[in-house]
Chain A
Amino acid sequence: MISLLEVVFRGLGQGSIYALIALGFVIIYKSSRVISFAQPGFMIAGVVLVTYLVQIPWLGFFAAVVVAALLTAGFALGVERTVIRPMIGRPVFAIAIITIALDIVIRTVAHAGIGINVRHVGDPWGLTNTSLGPLTVQQRHLAAVITAAVLVTALFLFFRYTRIGLAMRAVAEDQEVALAQGVGVGMVFALSWAMAGGLAAVAGAFAAAGRSVDPQFWLIALTALPVIILGGLDSLVGAVVAGLAIGVVQALAAAYPAYVAFLGSNASLIVPWLVMLLVLVVRPYGLFGTREVERV
């Protein structure tokens, strides 16, 4: 029982990282109806920045993460201005493909930054354990859960109580009506990209805790794709719930491979996609997604 709970907690730690990345997808989708496949690129760009920033002696891990998140946010904002803005009004598919291409470009440049040697984010936890009541958990998972909880709370308060948050909700509701009410829709688009970039960088830094950064690292961010589909493309709550759920399911599949032996070895890598496919057969708009109104 204890070991099962420990596995679940490990899943929650991994899942909160998925949730952070998925939140970025959802924020962009809600504001501009675009899925940004560039999120993995921003995550790896952020993480590479962290690996370089921690080498500055007086800058610790946490300050490095904050600086990297801000830099990535600024970078994402610039990308929105230069590449996505001219595409407004074009088919969403074309914009999605542009973001795939963006992802390739950003990742290629970031990989050149990684070089041939593995890099480390210099997190203060490594693989050390700590006890949480009767449970023995890794500190990095605890840190990821706490960070995600703080950020998610902050985001929900931001959307609920600030003027800009209200503007973003208005744009998510109806862009033209928001524009008519004097909301700067362009500002909201830019802000949503910046937020998504920053979230991806933070998620990357915590995902890299206790492991090395290599070119395969972006696969973590790809797991956020089944997460957002499972939760529903336009639901912030869905992103968090589905992120945690996928993390736990994946941890369970990794810890008890005998139950998923029919999927072959390393089944935990594809379990998120299988869960997504199964759920979509029943609910085509995910668990929390809004059903599209069909109108000619």
Chain B
Amino acid sequence: MLTRPLLHTSYRSDMSLLDSWTKRALLLGLLALGVATPLLLPDPDLRLLSTACVFAIGAIGLGLLTGSAGQVSLGHAFFLGVGCYTAAVVSGDPDDARLWGFGISEILIWLPAAGLVAAAVGVLIAPLATRLRGLYLAIVTLGLVFVGEHFFEQWRSVTGGARAGRAAAEPVLFGYPVGQDGAFFTEQQQIFWLMFGLLVVFALAARNLSRSSVGRAFNAIRDRDIAAGTIGVNLFKYKTIAFGVSSFYAGCAGALLYAITGHVNPTEFNLVLSVLFIAMVLVGGAGTVSGAIAGAFFITLLGRMTEGLGGWVPVISTQSNQTPNIFQLQNLLYGALIIGFLLYEPRGLFGIWLRIRNWWKSYPFSY
């Protein structure tokens, strides 16, 4: 039966995860599209989309911390790095004299391990975070990125050192090597299905968390943390949970991100990566899971779009040793997009969707 959005006739429909038939239809459509994508697109495009799925997992994590709980973090890249190296060490070659490794390449082991270690580090940071607010916290988490980047470069037995790097975690699911060409499907097709499936799992988990009592506590803290404290929200507990969950997502994303490429360099976990995640959350729409996913895909695919632009505008070079080049153009676009969205559409892509929805909701009286 067709119903109006937000019109609920039973508690059951009010509390359900997908509370209108459009949401159900959209989700089913997107799931079908995701499953079919590897059969339709060539491998290089699939690799890009797999990366977008993983970025989306990380962006959901940052969205929970910054969008839902209002804790500003510029340190997301650091937690990505922690997760990535945990996975690399767990799955690494145990015979290597230079690098640590335990040789457990089963993804069901290294993925939770990466998430848990990153979450543990996040919980360690949390006491500092509960004492600090707003911009002080932003700069402290920024410091985390710099200190982290330094230690990633120095701790050679784990990270392989600056320039050298090390092999990332090997994705093996139930003994089946996903990261190799199989009998029926190519490596990139299998990796896309894996990453897409994980994205669905992580997104559903985040959606459920944000509509639970924990999610409501997060929103109360975001709106006014002192007020939330006075009405009985345990600030220390919920800020710690927010940091822990967000770091868990970041750790998993870090581990998966480099499983796609197979190699990881310690200089990659820098401020630029953190800002990229902030751009995803803001462009998509802070505080919503679907917004974070949309933002992640948009930002990831933006790189591909600017590459296409290089051929159209003759001034812009595709070589990085000439100026102006497409990499500078990409940076410029990221910056301009963040500014543009914050100025004119603060709720991001999700806000644009809301406007379209509301227009139709009140059709034909939509003015």
A contact residues vs B (CB 8 Å cutoff) = 35, 83, 86-87, 90, 92-94, 96-98, 100-105, 107-109, 111-112, 115-116, 222, 225-226, 228-229, 233, 263-267, 269-270, 273-274, 276-277, 280-281, 284-285, 292, 294-296
Q: Check if B328 sits within 8 Å of A284, measured CB to CB.
A: no
In Å, the complex CA distance between A274 and B144 comes to: 9
Q: Check if B332 sits within 8 Å of A96, measured CB to CB.
A: no
Specify which chain B residues have a CB less than 8 angstroms from the CB of A276 in the assembled complex.
Answer: 139-140, 143
Question: Of B34-42, B106-114, B174-182, B223-231, which binds chain A?
Answer: B223-231
In Å, the complex CA distance between A295 and B225 comes to: 10
Specify which chain A residues have a CB less than 8 angstroms from the CB of B331 in the assembled complex.
Answer: 104-105, 107-108
In Å, the complex CA distance between A282 and B70 comes to: 24
Q: Check if B139 sits within 8 Å of A226, measured CB to CB.
A: yes
From A109, A233, A263, A296, B136 is in contact (CB under 8 Å) with: A233
| With known contacts A83-B339, A270-B150, A296-B224, A108–B135 Cβ distance under 8 A | no
Apart from A101-B339, A112-B328, list 7 A-B contacts with CB within 8 A. A104-B331, A229-B139, A229-B140, A269-B146, A273-B147, A274-B147, A280-B131
Q: Check if A111 sits within 8 Å of B328, measured CB to CB.
A: yes
From B155, B226, B322, B339, A102 is in contact (CB under 8 Å) with: B339
Would you give 22 A-B contacts (Cβ < 8 Å), ordered by A? A35-B135, A96-B135, A96-B138, A97-B338, A98-B342, A100-B278, A101-B338, A104-B332, A104-B335, A105-B336, A108-B328, A116-B321, A116-B322, A222-B146, A229-B139, A265-B154, A266-B150, A267-B150, A274-B147, A280-B136, A284-B132, A296-B226
B contact residues vs A (CB 8 Å cutoff) = 66, 70, 72, 128, 131-136, 138-140, 142-143, 146-147, 150-151, 153-155, 224, 226-227, 230, 275, 278-279, 282, 321-324, 328, 331-332, 334-339, 342-343, 346
Nearest opposing residue in chain B for A103, CB measure: B335
Q: Check if B150 sits within 8 Å of A294, measured CB to CB.
A: no
In Å, the complex CA distance between A92 and B136 comes to: 12
In Å, the complex CA distance between A266 and B149 comes to: 12
In Å, the complex CA distance between A108 and B321 comes to: 14
Nearest Cβ on chain B to A196's Cβ, whole angstroms: 15
Q: Check if A86 sits within 8 Å of B343, measured CB to CB.
A: yes
Nearest opposing residue in chain A for B71, CB measure: A93
In Å, the complex CA distance between A97 and B150 comes to: 24
Q: Check if A104 sits within 8 Å of B275, measured CB to CB.
A: yes
Specify which chain A residues have a CB less than 8 angstroms from the CB of B339 in the assembled complex.
Answer: 83, 98, 101-102, 105
Nearest opposing residue in chain B for A229, CB measure: B139
From B66, B70, B226, B332, A295 is in contact (CB under 8 Å) with: B226
Specify which chain A residues have a CB less than 8 angstroms from the CB of B150 in the assembled complex.
Answer: 263-264, 266-267, 269-270
Specify which chain B residues have a CB less than 8 angstroms from the CB of A86 in the assembled complex.
Answer: 343
In Å, the complex CA distance between A94 and B72 comes to: 10
Q: Check if B335 sits within 8 Å of A225, measured CB to CB.
A: no
In Å, the complex CA distance between A103 and B147 comes to: 21
Q: Check if B332 sits within 8 Å of A109, measured CB to CB.
A: yes
Specify which chain A residues have a CB less than 8 angstroms from the CB of B279 in the assembled complex.
Answer: 101
Q: Check if B338 sits within 8 Å of A98, measured CB to CB.
A: yes
Specify which chain B residues have a CB less than 8 angstroms from the CB of A266 in the assembled complex.
Answer: 150
Q: Check if A270 sits within 8 Å of B132, measured CB to CB.
A: no
Nearest Cβ on chain B to A148's Cβ, whole angstroms: 22
Q: Check if B278 sits within 8 Å of A280, measured CB to CB.
A: no
Q: Check if A101 sits within 8 Å of B334, measured CB to CB.
A: yes
Nearest Cβ on chain B to A286's Cβ, whole angstroms: 8
Q: Check if A93 sits within 8 Å of B343, measured CB to CB.
A: no
In Å, the complex CA distance between A3 and B275 comes to: 41
In Å, the complex CA distance between A285 and B224 comes to: 19
In Å, the complex CA distance between A273 and B339 comes to: 28
In Å, the complex CA distance between A98 and B146 comes to: 21
Nearest Cβ on chain A to B74's Cβ, whole angstroms: 8
Nearest Cβ on chain B to A233's Cβ, whole angstroms: 7
Q: Check if A292 sits within 8 Å of B140, measured CB to CB.
A: no
Q: Check if B323 sits within 8 Å of A264, measured CB to CB.
A: no
Specify which chain A residues have a CB less than 8 angstroms from the CB of B322 in the assembled complex.
Answer: 116
Nearest opposing residue in chain B for A223, CB measure: B146
In Å, the complex CA distance between A107 and B275 comes to: 14
Nearest opposing residue in chain B for A41, CB measure: B335
Q: Check if B278 sits within 8 Å of A97, measured CB to CB.
A: yes
Specify which chain B residues have a CB less than 8 angstroms from the CB of A222 in the assembled complex.
Answer: 146
In Å, the complex CA distance between A280 and B133 comes to: 12
In Å, the complex CA distance between A14 and B337 comes to: 35
Q: Check if A35 sits within 8 Å of B139, measured CB to CB.
A: yes
Q: Check if A105 sits within 8 Å of B321, measured CB to CB.
A: no
In Å, the complex CA distance between A267 and B134 comes to: 28
Specify which chain B residues have a CB less than 8 angstroms from the CB of A115 in the assembled complex.
Answer: 323
Nearest opposing residue in chain A for B72, CB measure: A93
Q: Check if B335 sits within 8 Å of A105, measured CB to CB.
A: yes
Nearest opposing residue in chain B for A34, CB measure: B135
In Å, the complex CA distance between A284 and B132 comes to: 6
From B72, B226, B335, A96 is in contact (CB under 8 Å) with: B72
| With known contacts A108-B335, A226-B143, A280-B128, A285–B136 Cβ distance under 8 A | yes
Nearest Cβ on chain B to A185's Cβ, whole angstroms: 20
Specify which chain B residues have a CB less than 8 angstroms from the CB of A292 in the assembled complex.
Answer: 133
| Chain A to chain B: the 8 pairs with minimum beta-carbon distance, closest first | A264-B154, A101-B338, A104-B335, A105-B335, A273-B143, A101-B335, A108-B331, A270-B150
Specify which chain B residues have a CB less than 8 angstroms from the CB of A225 in the assembled complex.
Answer: 139, 142-143
Nearest Cβ on chain B to A204's Cβ, whole angstroms: 19
| With known contacts A102-B339, A270-B146, A97–B282 Cβ distance under 8 A | yes
Q: Check if B143 sits within 8 Å of A93, measured CB to CB.
A: no
Nearest Cβ on chain A to B212's Cβ, whole angstroms: 24
In Å, the complex CA distance between A280 and B147 comes to: 15
Nearest Cβ on chain A to B161's Cβ, whole angstroms: 10
In Å, the complex CA distance between A266 and B151 comes to: 11
